[in-house]
C-alpha cells in the first residue's frame, strides 16, 4: 500500500513546503484540501495549475486526490452541486489527481430515501463528466452517511465505475461498524482509505497514529487479508483543532506506525 497525508493537517502551507515534508518523511502522495483558503482550489488559474502539477512531478510525489466540499445529498437544486463537482473534476484532471472527495450532507429532517435518491441522481449525472476526464468521484463515509452501510445505499443505485467510496475509518467506527463489515460493504467501490486517531468517542481531537482508540490495526489487517493494494491517507484534522500538536513533528512516527502495521498484517 502507498502512504499519503492530507494538507488538512498543515492548513495554508505553500505547496513547495508540503512537498518538502512528503519527501523528507517518506510519503508517496498528498491529499490536497481544496478550499479558497488553501494554495490549491477550483479558482486556481491555468498557469498555476500547470506549475503545481510540475512541482509534484519534480518531487516524485503523487497528488492522491482533492478533498472537496460538495454535498451531494444536500437539499436544493442540483445545478450548484453539479457545478461544484465539475470544477473539482477539472482541477483534478489538470493536476493529474485520480480522485475527488465529496460529502453526503443530507438534511436530517428529510426522509432517508429521498436524500439517498438525490445523492444517487447527482453522482450518476456527474459520473459522465468524471469518465470523460479520467477522474473518480469518491463519496466519503461522513456526516449523514457515516457508515459503509449508509454509503452503499447511494453507491449501489449509481452503479458507475467512476463513482466510488472514500473510507474514513473514524466515521464508520463512530457509526458502530466493525472494520470487517465496513470493508465488505465498500470493497467493490473503494477508492482509498483515510486513517487517523482520536482519544475517545467524545473527544475527536487528532492524536498521533497509534496513540488513540481507533481500530487501525484491524483496518490494515482486513485490507491486507483481502489483498487490497491502494492508498492509506493520514487525515490529521489540525485545521479544526488548534490545540493539536503540529503535524510536521509527527509525520515520521506516523509513517513508521503504518509501515509497522502493514508489516504485521503481511
Measuring CA to CA, which residue among 49, 129, 35 is closest to residue 82? 129
- In degrees, to the nearest 5, what angle opens at C-alpha 165 toward C-alphas 67 and 60? 50
pLDDT at 13 over 90: yes
Whole-angstrom distance, CA of residue 225 vs CA of residue 194: 18
pLDDT band at 5 (very low <50, low <70, confident <90, very high): very high
Report pTM: 0.97
Q: What is the pLDDT of residue 42?
A: 96
pLDDT tens-place string over residues 51-103: 999 999 999 999 999 999 999 999 999 999 999 999 999 999 999 999 999 99
125: phi then psi, degrees, rounded to nearest 5: -70, -45
CA distance to 106, 158, 247, per residue, from 151 (Å):
12, 11, 29
* Homologous superfamily in CATH for domain 2-265: Divalent-metal-dependent TIM barrel enzymes (3.20.20.150)
Measuring CA to CA, which residue among 198, 82, 74 is closest to residue 143? 74
Return the C-alpha cell found at 16.
Answer: 513547495
pLDDT tens-place string over residues 228-264: 999 999 999 999 998 999 999 999 999 999 999 998 8
- In degrees, to the nearest 5, what angle opens at C-alpha 122 toward C-alphas 116 and 128? 135
Mean pLDDT across 209-230: 96
pLDDT tens-place string over residues 160-184: 999 999 999 999 999 999 999 999 9
User: What is the average pLDDT value for the chain, to the nearest integer?
Assistant: 97
User: Three-class SS of residue 86?
Assistant: helix
Whose cell is 491529499? That residue is 31
What's the gap between Cα 203 and its chain centre?
21
pLDDT at 107 over 70: yes
DSSP 39: S
Mean pLDDT across 4-15: 97
Other CB atoms within 10 Å distance of the CB of residue 46: 8
Amino acid at each position: 500500500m502507498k502512504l499519503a497525508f492530507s494538507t488538512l493537517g498543515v492548513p495554508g502551507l505553500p505547496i513547495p513546503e508540503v512537498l518538502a515534508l512528503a519527501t523528507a518523511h517518506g510519503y508517496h502522495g498528498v491529499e490536497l484540501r481544496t478550499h479558497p483558503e488553501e494554495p490549491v482550489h477550483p479558482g486556481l488559474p491555468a498557469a498555476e495549475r500547470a506549475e503545481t502539477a510540475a512541482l509534484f512531478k519534480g518531487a516524485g510525489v503523487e497528488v492522491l486526490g482533492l478533498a472537496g466540499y460538495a454535498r451531494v445529498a444536500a437539499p436544493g437544486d442540483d445545478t450548484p452541486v453539479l457545478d461544484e463537482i465539475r470544477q473539482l473534476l477539472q482541477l483534478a484532471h489538470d493536476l493529474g489527481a485520480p480522485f475527488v472527495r465529496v460529502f453526503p450532507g443530507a438534511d436530517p429532517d428529510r426522509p432517508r430515501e429521498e436524500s439517498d435518491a438525490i445523492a444517487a441522481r447527482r453522482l450518476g449525472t456527474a459520473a459522465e463528466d468524471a469518465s470523460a476526464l479520467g477522474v473518480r468521484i469518491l463519496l466519503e463515509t461522513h456526516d449523514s452517511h457515516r457508515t459503509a452501510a449508509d454509503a452503499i445505499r447511494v453507491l449501489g443505485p449509481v452503479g458507475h465505475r467512476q463513482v466510488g467510496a472514500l473510507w474514513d475509518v473514524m466515521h464508520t467506527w463512530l457509526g458502530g461498524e466493525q472494520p470487517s463489515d465496513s470493508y465488505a460493504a465498500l470493497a467493490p467501490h473503494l477508492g482509498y482509505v483515510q486513517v487517523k486517531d482520536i482519544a475517545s468517542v467524545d473527544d475527536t481531537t487528532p492524536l498521533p497514529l497509534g496513540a488513540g482508540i481507533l481500530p487501525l490495526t484491524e483496518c490494515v489487517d482486513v485490507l491486507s487479508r483481502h489483498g487490497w493494494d491502494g492508498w492509506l491517507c493520514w487525515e490529521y484534522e489540525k485545521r479544526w483543532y488548534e490545540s493539536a500538536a503540529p503535524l510536521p513533528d509527527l509525520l515520521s512516527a506516523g509513517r513508521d506506525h503504518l509501515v509497522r502495521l502493514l508489516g504485521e498484517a503481511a
